[in-house]
């Protein structure tokens, strides 16, 4: 007998009709012979609504009270879902984070799970219950209710799956898997039957926002097979696992993009030790995260120093740079907030040189200028003018034939084996 943890997000339990649908899915899983632990989020936009109420009182509500408030959303869901299960003849029992024993640190509104008690869940499963656990919440050592940060139910599900050594952690959501590119931009983007944790982390941080990044990291760390599936559409979704030795990998698995970047250049800074630190030190002290960094030597012995930040930090970063420009007696600041980053991701790239050059050629043929480049073992990213984003993404998707199913049969075969 296997144990499956299923997580249903807010849109999956947004109404009683949705809850009944979810209940039938859970019952079917149990009838197929699995033990099932379910994690649920608050209904629809309930968490936003609750936050809104708090902000009507004060701009800075106490974090402790915020947690008490926000945790109510999930408590409603677990009770209703358990009732829904019972109404169709499926024995179920709901637990808040406190009741089941999800112990966290004391960092209100962004707590980290420290450990989870197993005994009660095991006992209930043995007696044939579906165990329904509130996502996103826990309890600290002093008995205070804590929450894990927005979107935290994914993390609850993965943590439970890790603790219980579940065979799979299934994240049910409103998309039916992870795609080779955002299907809203690339109509023939293809659902990937499986991706590795490393690829998923690259895709997630680059804008393919299907799963909470923290949950993917957690699952990778504890080796929990994670599957993303749709609540409303049948299918096997996307399985996120470790790379299997000997498994054939598509060279490029997917394509991610982000419009959230901005570029800053400080021109004509002296080419000597310590300068990069002098420029980026104040930026990091202001808690501004830097993504790509490029420095090139001009023929006058000075260098231009370029980096990218999140667009929301652009003005702040620019103001800091203006100061540094004066201190270093540099040649001024240039900036551009209308850029986009496009990345090819694939573990198969490790063993294949030439992906980057093919990418550059393809973009060049379309007349798309590449402003910045960065690479890692499994990724090549370029920054281009935002107005070329769609063209670039579509052209690359086509050129790397991501719409074709490379090893689909192979995957399915292996999954069944
Ligand atoms: N209900 C919480 C939120 O909306 C947690 C979650 O949905 O995962 O952020
Ligand atoms: Mg939610």
Section 282-299 average pLDDT: 90
Query: Taking each helix axis from N to C terminus, what angle separates 16-31 and 63-87, rounded to the nearest 10 degrees?
Result: 60
pLDDT tens-place string over residues 366-408: 999 999 999 888 999 999 999 999 999 999 999 999 998 775 4
pLDDT given at position 411:
43
- DSSP-H helix ranges across 88-167: 97-100, 119-126, 153-164
pLDDT higher for 97 or 250? Answer: 97
pLDDT at residue 409 is higher than 60: no
> What's 223's DSSP letter?
T
pLDDT given at position 162:
97
pLDDT given at position 416:
44
153 lines ligand 1 (CB under 6 A): yes
Query: Taking each helix axis from N to C terminus, what angle separates 389-399 and 355-365, rounded to the nearest 10 degrees?
Result: 130
Q: CA 53, CA 50: separation in Å to the nearest integer?
A: 5
42 lines ligand 1 (CB under 6 A): yes
User: For the sheet containing 168-173, what is the strand order?
Assistant: 92-95, 130-134, 34-40, 2-8, 168-173, 226-230, 238-241, 194-196
The preferred substitution site among 9, 41, 67 for testing ligand 1, maximizing ligand atoms within 8 Å of CB, is 41
Domains of the chain: 3-174 (3.40.1160.10), 246-417 (3.30.2130.10)
pLDDT given at position 348:
84
Section 245-267 average pLDDT: 85
pLDDT given at position 8:
97
Section 74-82 average pLDDT: 98
Section 213-242 average pLDDT: 92
151 lines ligand 1 (CB under 6 A): yes
Q: CA 355, CA 359: separation in Å to the nearest integer?
A: 6
pLDDT given at position 295:
87
Q: CA 310, CA 290: separation in Å to the nearest integer?
A: 8
| Segment of 95-99, 232-236, 344-348 carrying the highest mean pLDDT | 95-99
Handedness of CA 350, 351, 353, 356 (dihedral sign): negative
pLDDT tens-place string over residues 158-189: 999 999 999 999 999 988 999 999 988 999 99
The preferred substitution site among 151, 174, 210, 216 for testing ligand 1, maximizing ligand atoms within 8 Å of CB, is 151
pLDDT tens-place string over residues 306-357: 999 999 999 999 999 999 999 999 999 999 999 999 999 998 888 777 899 9
Q: How far is the CA of 209 from the centre of ligand 2 (A)?
A: 14
Q: What percent of the chain clears pLDDT 90, i.e. is strictly above it?
A: 80
pLDDT given at position 353:
76
75 sits in which H/E element: helix 63-87
3-class SS of residue 30? helix
Q: How far is the CA of 73 from the centre of ligand 2 (A)?
A: 9
pLDDT higher for 230 or 296? Answer: 230
3-class SS shares of the chain: helix, strand, coil, % to 5: 40, 25, 35
pLDDT higher for 23 or 298? Answer: 23
List C-alpha distances in Å: 382 to 318, 372, 379: 22, 6, 10
- Contact predicate 402/252, CB 8 Å: yes
3-class SS of residue 264? strand
- Contact predicate 205/379, CB 8 Å: no
DSSP 149-216: -TTTHHHHHHHHHHHHT-SEEEEEESSSS-BSS-TTT-TT--B-SEEEHHHHHHHHHTT-TTS-HHHH
pLDDT given at position 186:
94
Q: How confident is the model at residue 56 (pLDDT cuts 50, 70, 90)?
A: very high
150 lines ligand 1 (CB under 6 A): yes
pLDDT given at position 299:
73
Question: Which residue in 173, 239, 216, 153 sits closest to 25, CA to CA?
Answer: 173
Ligand 1: atom nearest CA of 151 is 8
pLDDT given at position 415:
43
Q: For the chain, what is the radius of gyration of the CA atoms?
A: 24
10 lines ligand 1 (CB under 6 A): yes
For atom 9 of ligand 1, which residue has the closest CA? 150
pLDDT at residue 410 is higher than 50: no
Query: Taking each helix axis from N to C terminus, what angle separates 153-164 and 119-126, rounded to the nearest 10 degrees?
Result: 80
pLDDT higher for 175 or 286? Answer: 286
DSSP 321-367: HHHHHHHHT---EEEES-EEEEEEE-GGGGG-TTHHHHHHHHHHHTT
pLDDT at residue 246 is higher than 60: no
Q: How far is the CA of 73 from the centre of ligand 1 (A)?
A: 9
pLDDT given at position 251:
84
For the chain, the distance separating the N- and C-terminal CA atoms, rounded to the nearest angstrom, is: 17
- Contact predicate 38/161, CB 8 Å: no
């Amino acid at each position: 007998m296997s144990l499956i943890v299923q997580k249903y997000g807010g849109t999956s339990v947004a109404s009683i009709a949705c809850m009944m649908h979810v209940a039938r899915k859970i019952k079917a899983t149990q009838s197929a012979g699995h033990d099932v632990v379910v994690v649920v989020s608050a209904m629809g936009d309930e968490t936003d609504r609750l936050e809104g109420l708090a902000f009507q009182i004060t701009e800075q509500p106490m974090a402790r009270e915020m947690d008490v408030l926000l945790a109510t959303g999930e408590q409603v869901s677990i009770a209703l879902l358990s009732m829904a299960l019972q109404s169709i003849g499926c024995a179920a029992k709901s637990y808040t984070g406190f009741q089941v024993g999800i112990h966290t640190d004391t960092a209100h509104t962004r707590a980290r799970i420290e450990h989870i008690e197993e005994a009660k869940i095991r006992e209930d499963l043995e007696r044939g219950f579906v165990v329904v656990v509130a996502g996103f919440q826990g309890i600290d050592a002093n008995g205070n209710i804590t929450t894990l940060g927005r979107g935290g139910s994914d993390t609850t599900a993965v943590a439970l799956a890790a603790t219980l050594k579940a065979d799979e952690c299934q994240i049910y959501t409103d998309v039916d898997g992870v795609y080779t590119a955002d299907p809203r931009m690339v109509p023939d983007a293809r659902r990937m039957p499986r991706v590795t944790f490393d690829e998923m982390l690259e895709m997630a941080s680059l804008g393919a926002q299907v799963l909470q990044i923290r949950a993917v990291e957690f699952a990778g760390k504890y080796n929990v097979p994670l599957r993303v599936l749709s609540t409303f559409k049948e299918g096997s979704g996307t399985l996120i696992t470790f790379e299997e030795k000997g498994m054939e990998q598509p060279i490029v698995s997917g394509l991610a993009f982000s419009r959230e970047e901005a570029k800053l250049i400080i021109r004509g800074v002296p080419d000597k030790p310590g300068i990069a630190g002098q420029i980026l030190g104040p930026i990091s002290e202001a808690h501004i995260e830097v993504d790509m960094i490029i420095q090139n030597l001009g023929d006058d012995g000075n260098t231009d120093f370029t980096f990218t930040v999140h667009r929301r930090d652009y003005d702040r970063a620019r103001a800091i740079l203006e100061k540094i420009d004066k201190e270093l007696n540099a040649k001024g600041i240039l900036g551009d907030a209308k850029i986009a980053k496009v990345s090819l991701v694939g573990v198969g790239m490790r063993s294949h040189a030439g992906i980057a050059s093919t990418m550059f050629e393809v973009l060049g043929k379309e007349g798309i200028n590449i402003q910045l480049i960065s690479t890692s073992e499994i990724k090549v990213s370029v920054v281009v003018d935002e107005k070329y984003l769609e063209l670039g993404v579509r052209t690359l998707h086509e050129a790397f034939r991501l719409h074709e199913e490379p090893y689909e049969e192979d995957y399915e075969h292996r999954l069944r084996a």
